Structure 1
Amino acid sequence: MKSASKLQLRYSSVCEAGIKPANEDAVAQHIPTDAHLLTYKGACFALADGVSTAEAGQQASKRAVSRFCREYSQTPDSWSVAYSAQQLLATINNELYELSHQFVHEQKGYLTTFTALVLKSQTAHFFHIGDSRLYHWRDGLLAQLSQDHTTVLSEQRQFLGRALGMDVHFELQQGSISIKTGDRFLLCSDGLSDFISPEALQQAVSAASDLEQTAQQLKQQALAQGCDDNISLILLEITALPEQSLDDLNQHLTALPFPPALSPGMKLDGYKVLQELFASSRSHLYLVEDEASAATLVLKCPSLNYDDDALYIDRFIREEWIGLRIESDYVVKVVRQSRPRTFLYYLMEYLPGQSLEQWFERQPKPLKPALAIKLVKQIAEGLKAFHRMGAIHQDLKPGNIIYLDDGSLKIVDFGSVYVAGLAEIYSPLQHDAALGTAAYSDPHYLLGHNSGVQGDIYALATIAYELFSGGHLPYGNAVEECRTAADYDKLRYLSASQFNPVVPTWFDRALQQGVSLDLSQRYQSINQLLTDLQQPNPAFLHEEVKQQHKTNPLLFWQLLSGFWFITLLLVVWLFLLRR
């Protein structure tokens, strides 16, 4: 495998009307010249075949490929390729659908097939709908990756089953494969694939030395075989893949030395140390003043204990990268630096306050419900900012939340954050599982399974339980002793109402569902949890009524007997009136 600092490839494309008077096909590509975008977003290629019977197929195909290739690289680089493409294609699909329905009386439909290929790091991602095609070639063999979304009635009759713009809801085929240097890809419309056999395509792609010449030869071959449709294709080859040796990566990460231990009065790159705020075996926090702007900031330094630990250094550098991309009033802001650094560190806004853990210890317990739910809602808003960027916090706990002097909260610490977009980038460094805290982290994390958003929901529900129960945990202190799946199977949920009698059953059921060890039972989104914490879920209310019947059967039968007694009196009274 040829090694390079970035992805390298060569390609050629054809998009012509053929013998038809108009060309309803479209192709587009975008290979970022910016090294950062090429690494974090990748190169993309798109081909579309407008549905001619829809009247506006030409406009639909051009709009789809141009928007996808132009806007894909503008999606957040913390988003995964799949999520970026799904969000973008959903927008394009809805736009085409709306345009089609503006012309319903003129039968002017904006429908098109669509096939896209995104090459990022050492993986090819593809997205497809319709009957255009994507092929992958390696070592002389050509394999079709896409599926034809057509329904065949007979040899002469078939119709397109799926297309962009056909419906509000669309089914997209998507997938990914690992790539190697020398791999080739062919994207083409049915004007090519319907008139050249798979064997002939394989032979042409295998023999391709000059991609432009091969692309033209394929077009001419399709015309010679009687092609009466538009002809479009993109032929590309991977010439080098990004790869770094561990030694190279270590050299890059350790280019900046660790700062020495700092004390008040010392200066570092124009920042004057005012006091030490926090120190542990893993990091140090200092309150500093920017001598240029007089702004008060927090400077975070790595611990000298890890100056030869590549994993630790990589994680520390990622903390700053993640923090710069999270925008929320409920998450600490990382400050983008304008001056060169001579040491490894990063800057954050100064938050006057204390950790939620410290604040909660000093409060009378349990908290008033209105205050507790206010805190939970703020934490939830901070978490949602992470999730919008394709990031999972993975270590949410009261110690990583700052309670400010004005009563607001902010989430801090990005050391365990998982980012889908980063996880797709090749790295020889293999990170450990989530570095969570047993009392608050989803057991699935600690057992090696990334439960994604549901893991953060578990932590949020655990904190909510603690605030409402007066400092207890949903599964008691035994959760901190669990090491295996068998240990977690022995845990039993402890009703919050046994610690705080004012907690109603419906609220307790919402907490229980939020910390369920069964992911199929746990909430899928933060909004679902918040909704059930703020208003009774009818299903939970029904359970509460059933529970009351079980706990006080005498009262139930007394009420039922009273109802029948009153009914009997009414019957007797009506009977007497008729006499």
Structure 2
Amino acid sequence: MIPEGRLLVAGGHSSQTGARPENQDFVGIYTASELERMRRGMIAVVADGVGGGIGGDHRGGRIAAELAVREAIDGFYCQPDTIGVAAAVQRVMAPFNRWLCAMGRSDTMAHAATTFTACVLKGRKGHVLHVGDSRAWHFRDGRLTLLTEDHTRSHPDQRHILYRALGIEERLRLDHHEIALAEHDRILLTSDGVHGTLSARRIEKLLGARNSAEADAMAIVDAALAGGSQDNASAVVLDVVSLPGVGHDSVAGDIDKLPILPPPETGGSVDGFKLDRLLSDGRYTRLFRAVDSVSGQVVVVKFPKPALLSEGGAKLAFMREILVGSRISSPFVGGAIPVPQDRQSQLYGVQPYYEGQTLEQRLGSQVSLEEGLAIAVRLTRAVAALHKLDIIHRDIKPDNVILTQDGGLKLVDLGVARLPRIDEFAENEIPGTPSYLAPEMFTGNRGDQQTDMFALGVTLWRLFAGRYPYGEIEPFTRPRFRKPDMPSVHRTQLPAWLDAVLMRSVSIEPEERYGDAIELLRALEGGAAVARVKQNFVPLIERNPARFWQMVSLMLLAALIAALAMR
């Protein structure tokens, strides 16, 4: 079984002399240790040497290519992992390029130069660094895409002449192309002895054979030589076997590049998403039901409102939803749909569309005890799934709970969730609905498991008792929390055990609430058998003050009548 959460790549290569007297190509793959892959990634390079030395000896090109590959691999892993991949490769190859330019002016390596195409796989991204006319290709779902541009003259008779390569210009200019990786992707690096003979369609077919990376690299080179290639032929194939989980750095980097534009209107189209119906127009975001013209899938597209949310706050919110949606696997928590980086032109988020209604809409009419318990159990399971990953939702409320048509439930709107080791919002930008905020949040707590438990408890109060335990709280007010009436005061058919569960769920003091969502789940599923064991006796004056004073009044009236009769 392949371990999860790790970058695993299978690499293979082939380099043949062909019709030339010697092989001036050089290739290298360094898969790296697990720690090196995690910190810096893995690297593969193809270089095609050109030029020569005294007496027509062309070994200078071979030396340039081999040294370029070795320098790239050795030097890359000596760079600090705090700088980006492109900067690390540039830092290594720029001094080498200056040295090669100097050597090219000597008799020993006169005019020696080399193409250079490197691919670094790090995290969930591939980075191609390139100069010359070697090529890098991306193969996914049966389709081959060229990632690089040849630095050769455009005239048909001069396409073999390089105007950029290592050793040609004193100042090194490396092209950098970045791609989002997916499992089962293939990356191909080729020298011009391969792609100068084989068409892209032919290469695509050879990669589609899906043999081992080594076997397919050899098959590509053999096909080029059999097709009449008069040059050295080299190929490197990298198969992406598994990828690490979506991480903060990669998502934050992608989102940071996206502009925040005013939200569109119904009927518009953004990046192929046709917005056919407005679902919600809230304070900070606007949501549309949309059809993805690429996949045909019905989705929800959420746009920020830049006038009401800072750029930093908006990007943090959307980053959180992508991270949570990619990390969590629960039938009760809404997911996220990643959009390819080269497709997305502005900041928005895409989520699955769940046909149904919100819990807030369902509360327009009374919910039976049986249905209410089923909803409560599913919602508590959703919260437990988040807390298991140290994710704090921070905005649990009926508006953020979707009851699907098939009887399921989805807890959504994770844009304000608190995630471990992720930047926090500015203090004035932490959203939340006042009526669901725990008392400690009014004194500086920024959200933890116990504040989520309180918000869940308020939601369950509304589900079973039809009201807020502490009343509806207006924004920008500081409420005074006093012990509420028992829920059964407002809905008399509630059993005593559920009374106890709901009262404990919204306790003013955090330590008096349920320790976690699993403990609350046991109480809801176990009913009286579990809840009664842990509940203390609650006097009638606390459970139902009105009934208590009615009974006291009746007793006093009876005593008064008895006293009058005795006189």
TM-score by length of structure 1 reads 0.47
- Max Rg structure: 2
TM-score by length of structure 2 reads 0.48
Tell which has more relative contact order, 1 or 2 (C-alpha 8 A, sep 6+).
Answer: 1
